[in-house]
Every structure is written in C-alpha cells, then in structure tokens.
C-alpha cells in the first residue's frame, strides 16, 4: 500500500521495511522524510507512535496487530493477495478504495486507467510471444528457484499482456514452492523470466552449470533476467513488472 499511496500523490510519514523496499522493489523511490518503522512482522510501535500518523494502511495478513495499531491511529486494511484468486483486480479495487479514503478518487482512477492502457500497448508489442508460455521465477540459489503461479501479480500481469503461464502446479500464497533446476525439463517450450533480486552466484550458474545449460530453455537462449520488482506489490509494482518485461522481451530475438 506504500507504493500505491505514493502513486496517488500522498507521501506517508512512515513505512515498514524501507531498507528492503529500496533493494527489492526499487521504485518508487521513498522520499527522505519517511520514517522506517522496522519489519512488517515486528513493527516498532514506538517508532510509529513517534511518527504520529493520521491513518494506518494495513492488510489482513496483519490482522493480529490491528488492535494494537488502532491505539495509534485508525487502521484501514486492504486485501490484495488471497489464496485462489489473481491479485490484479483486487489491487485495482484496493487502489480505488484507498483513493476514496484519501480523497484522491480522480488520481486512483487515473492510475488504474494509465496502467490499463500500458498493458494494452504492451500486449500489442508482445503479440509474437502469445503462443510461448512464460515460466516466471525468482532464483534463490544456484540450485533452486521459486515459481510464480496464478495467484501472483507477475503471472496475472503477464496474462494481461496476452501471455500465458507455464507453471500449472500448486502454489502457496501467490507463488512459490521451492523448485529444483530439473523441473525446467518438464516444460521444454517455456520461456524463462527471472525476476530479481537474485544472488550473483545464482545468476552465474545459469551460464556456467552443465545442468542449467542442458535445459532446453537455457540452451536455446529463451531466458531473460529482469531487475528486482516487488512480488507482493499493488498496481505500481504490476506496471513496473510489465514495463521491464515488455522491454526485455521485445529486445529478444526469439519469438
């Protein structure tokens, strides 16, 4: 919700996990005045109290903390990621609801419309990939990745770009059972998209390890590596992902 609030032109007084956000989500850049209140799972209520917020944006994941947060300021909780549903439409709804709450209805509608038209434009540019299923992953170490499934923003965004997902197996919370390299052999037609952040040695293994190189996707160069994108973001993260994906794929020779 941090990035959504920023996208609506509201600068929060404080946010959680700002250090990680700068590394793993990259954009939008967090303005200098925003106070860091620690980890999502271990918020510093004292830091939040010191920031004196008027409204606290949360999600049902942190339902257990709501009673405590409510002592500091009213809590508004928005649900985007839930088991069994793609997150893009809920993210649009959350954006509208937040726009309503902050008196920025017009900005919210504009954000949603801008994203929709970007997806439309991207769809046209990626038409030649329409028959090529994407396997969207995040490399964790040289041997494993997590695979994003239908409940993830990445797969939902890719589908909105007219693409399909190669990952059909069960996922937990939008993404990722821990998958070993050899799973790639089961989907020889897929185009692999790695979304950062990934450790250097994991990215190196793509080129150097005999097993990775034996995988049909890698052998045929059907892989792109994207810069980090927030895997649990809202509409702004979906836009960033779509932009990076369109850039990377349209620069790619395969089609």
Partner 1 sequence: MPKADGARSGVLPWVVWTALGALAAALAIGLVSARLGAGFEPASALDRALLLYGVGPRIATAILAGAALGLAGALMQAALDNPLAEPATLGVSAGAQLGLGLLAIAAPDIGGFAREGAAFLGGTAAVALVIALSWRRGLDPVTVVLCGMIVATIASGLSAALILANGDYLFALLIWGGGSLVQQGWGPAWAIGAALIAGSIGAALLARALGVLSAGEPGARSLGAPVAAIRTAALGVGVLLATTVAAEVGLIAFVGLAAPTLARLSGARSTRHVLLAAPATGAILLWLTDGAVQQFGTGDALPTGAATAFLGAPLLLWMLPRLRMADRPGASVRPGPRSSARLVALCAALALLVFAAALALGRGPDGWSIATGGDFLALLPFRLPRAVAAAAAGAMLAAAGVVLQRLTANPLASPEVLGVGAGAGVGLAVVLVTAGAASATLELAGAACGAMAALLLMLALATRSRLGPERLLLAGAAISALCLAAVNAVIAGGSAGAFALLGWISGSTSAVGPSEAIAGCLAAVVLIAALAPLRRWLDVLPLGEAVARGVGLELTAARAALTVIAALLTAVASLIAGPLSFVGLVAPHMAYAAGLTRPALHLAGAVALGAGLMVAADLLGRTVIYPYQLPLGLFASLIGGGYLVLALRAR
Q: How far is the CB of 43 from partner 1 (least distance, A)?
A: 6
Q: How far is the CB of 110 from partner 1 (least distance, A)?
A: 30
Q: Which string of b and e fits 148-159 if b means at least 16 CB within 10 Å?
A: bbbbbbbbbbbb
Question: Which of 95, 2, 99 has its CA nearest to residue 53?
Answer: 2
**CB closer to partner 1 out of 67 and 253:** 67
CB atoms within 10 A of CB 41: 10
**CB closer to partner 1 out of 81 and 154:** 81
Q: How far is the CB of 45 from partner 1 (least distance, A)?
A: 4
Residue reference for tokens 């939040």: 48
CB atoms within 10 A of CB 223: 22
**CB closer to partner 1 out of 45 and 164:** 45
Q: How far is the CB of 80 from partner 1 (least distance, A)?
A: 12
Question: Which of 10, 42, 40 has its CA nearest to residue 25?
Answer: 40
Which pair of structure tokens corresponds to residue 79?
A: 């649900």
Q: How far is the CB of 21 from partner 1 (least distance, A)?
A: 9
Using CB under 8 A, list all residues that contact partner 1.
17, 20, 23-24, 35-47, 49-50, 59-65, 67-68, 71, 81-83, 138, 140-144, 146, 169-170, 172-173, 175-183, 185, 188, 197, 199-202, 204-205, 209-212, 214-216
**CB closer to partner 1 out of 103 and 180:** 180
CA distance 182 to 177: 14
**CB closer to partner 1 out of 103 and 188:** 188
């Amino acid at each position: 919700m941090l990035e959504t609030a920023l996208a609506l032109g509201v600068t929060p007084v404080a946010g959680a996990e700002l250090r990680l956000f700068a590394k793993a989500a990259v954009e939008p850049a967090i303005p200098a005045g925003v106070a860091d209140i620690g980890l999502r799972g271990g918020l510093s209520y004292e830091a939040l109290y010191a920031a004196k917020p008027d409204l606290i944006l949360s999600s049902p994941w942190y339902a257990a903390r709501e009673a405590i947060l409510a002592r500091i300021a009213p809590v508004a909780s928005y649900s985007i990621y839930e088991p069994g549903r793609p997150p893009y439409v809920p993210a649009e709804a959350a954006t509208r609801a937040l726009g309503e709450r902050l008196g920025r209805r017009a900005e919210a509608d504009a954000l949603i419309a801008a994203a929709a038209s970007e997806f439309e434009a991207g769809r046209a540019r990626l038409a030649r990939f329409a028959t090529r299923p994407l396997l969207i992953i995040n490399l964790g170490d040289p041997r494993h990745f997590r695979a994003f499934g239908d409940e993830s923003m990445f797969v939902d965004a890719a589908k909105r770009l007219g693409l399909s997902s190669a990952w059909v197996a069960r996922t937990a919370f939008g993404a990722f059972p821990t998958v070993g390299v050899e799973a790639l052999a089961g989907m020889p037609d897929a185009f692999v998209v790695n979304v950062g952040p990934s450790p250097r040695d994991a990215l190196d293994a793509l080129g150097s390890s005999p097993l990775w190189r034996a995988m049909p996707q890698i052998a045929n160069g059907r892989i792109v590596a994207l810069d980090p994108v927030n895997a649990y973001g809202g509409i702004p993260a979906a836009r960033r992902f779509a932009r990076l994906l369109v850039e990377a794929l349209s620069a790619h020779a395969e089609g």
